[in-house]
C-alpha cells in the first residue's frame, strides 16, 4: 500500500519521548537515545573509522532524524574530505515541529539540526548540509527499497520493535537490504530477535550478536564479504 500521504501519529511521555500510537513503541531509547545510536549504529558499523568520500549510509526508519544527526556529528568530527550520502526509508514521516520537540532531549544533535529542520519544514526530502546529502524516501519500504538503485556501505536497521512492526523485519525485506549492500558493506541493529538474524544470514550477511546498549543485553551486527 502506498503510504506517502500518511504521517506519524504520536503521544509524548515524560521526558519528551515521542511514542508512535500506530506501533506502540518509542522513537528512541529511554536510556539516552543519542548514546544508543552511537553504540548500535555508528560503532556497530565500524564508524567513523570507515568513513571516506562517497560513503553511503542507508537506513530503515528515519523517525526523528536522530541517527542522521549523530552521523552528521561523527562525519564533521572525523574531518574526512568530500561528501557523505545518507538515504533513509520512512513510511510515516514526523512533522517538523514534532522532530524539533523530540530533539530538545539531545542538545548536541539539536545544535546542528537547524538547516535540516528548515528544509524539512519546507517539504524538502533531499537535503544537503554540513557535507552530507540526505535523501528520505517516503512510502512502504517493501515497495520503495526494491525500486531503489543505490547500494549502501552501511545499514542502520531501526524500525520499530520486530514484535510490533514485523513487516519492516521480514525475510523478503532483509533480502532487499542484502541486495542493496555494497561488497564489504555492513549493517547494525538494536534487535537480537532470532528471525531477524536468520533473515539477515539468508540475505548473505555474516551475522554477530554483540553487547547491547544500556539495559539491552544484545544487539546484532554483520557484514557482507561480497
Mind listing the pLDDT tens digit for each residue in 174-185? Answer: 999 999 999 999
Order of strands, sheet of 10-13, starting from the edge strand that comes earlier in the sequence = 10-13, 17-20, 25-26
CB contact at 8 A, 215 and 188:
no
Does the structure show a pLDDT above 90 at 225? no
SS3 annotation, 201-216: HHCCCEEEEEECCCCC
Domain count, the chain: 1
Give the CATH number of the domain where residue 93 resides.
3.40.50.150
Structure-block grid coordinates of residue 20: 508512535
Task: Give the predicted TM-score (pTM) of the model.
Answer: 0.94
Cβ neighbours around 110 below 10 Å, total:
16
Q: Is residue 20 part of a domain?
A: yes
Residue 90: what pLDDT?
A: 96
Cα gap 216→37, rounded to integer Å: 13
**Residue holding cell 558493506?**
185
Residue 3 lies in a domain: no
Q: Tell me what the mean pLDDT of segment 201-209 comes to.
A: 97
Domain that holds residue 123: 10-223
Domain presence at residue 5: no
pLDDT tens by residue, 38-84 = 999 999 999 999 999 999 999 999 999 999 999 999 999 999 999 99
| DSSP string computed for 113-169 | -HHHHHHHHTT-SEEEETTEEEEEEES-HHHHHHH----EEEEEE--S-TTT-GGGG
Amino acid at each position: 500500500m502506498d503510504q506517502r500521504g500518511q504521517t506519524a501519529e504520536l503521544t509524548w511521555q515524560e521526558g519528551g519521548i515521542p511514542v508512535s500510537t500506530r506501533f506502540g513503541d518509542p522513537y528512541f531509547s529511554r536510556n539516552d537515545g543519542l548514546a544508543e545510536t552511537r553504540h548500535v549504529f555508528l560503532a556497530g558499523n565500524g564508524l567513523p573509522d570507515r568513513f571516506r568520500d562517497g560513503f553511503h549510509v542507508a537506513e530503515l526508519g528515519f523517525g526523528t532524524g536522530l541517527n542522521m544527526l549523530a552521523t552528521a556529528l561523527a562525519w564533521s568530527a572525523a574531518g574526512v574530505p568530500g561528501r557523505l550520502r545518507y538515504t533513509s526509508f520512512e513510511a510515516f514521516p514526523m512533522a517538523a515541529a514534532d522532530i524539533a520537540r523530540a530533539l530538545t532531549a539531545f542538545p548536541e544533535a539539536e545544535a546542528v539540526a537547524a538547516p535540516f529542520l528548515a528544509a524539512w519544514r519546507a517539504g524538502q526530502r533531499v537535503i544537503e548540509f554540513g557535507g552530507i546529502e540526505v535523501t528520505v524516501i517516503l512510502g512502504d519500504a517493501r515497495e520503495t527499497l526494491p525500486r531503489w538503485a543505490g547500494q549502501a556501505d552501511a545499514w542502520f536497521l531501526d524500525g520499530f520493535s520486530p514484535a510490533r512492526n514485523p513487516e519492516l523485519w521480514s525475510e523478503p525485506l532483509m533480502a532487499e537490504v542484502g541486495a542493496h549492500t555494497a561488497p564489504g558493506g555492513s549493517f547494525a541493529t538494536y534487535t537480537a530477535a532470532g528471525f531477524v538474524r536468520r533473515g539477515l544470514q539468508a540475505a548473505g550477511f555474516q551475522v554477530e550478536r554483540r553487547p547491547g546498549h544500556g539495559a539491552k543485553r544484545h544487539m546484532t551486527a554483520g557484514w557482507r564479504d561480497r
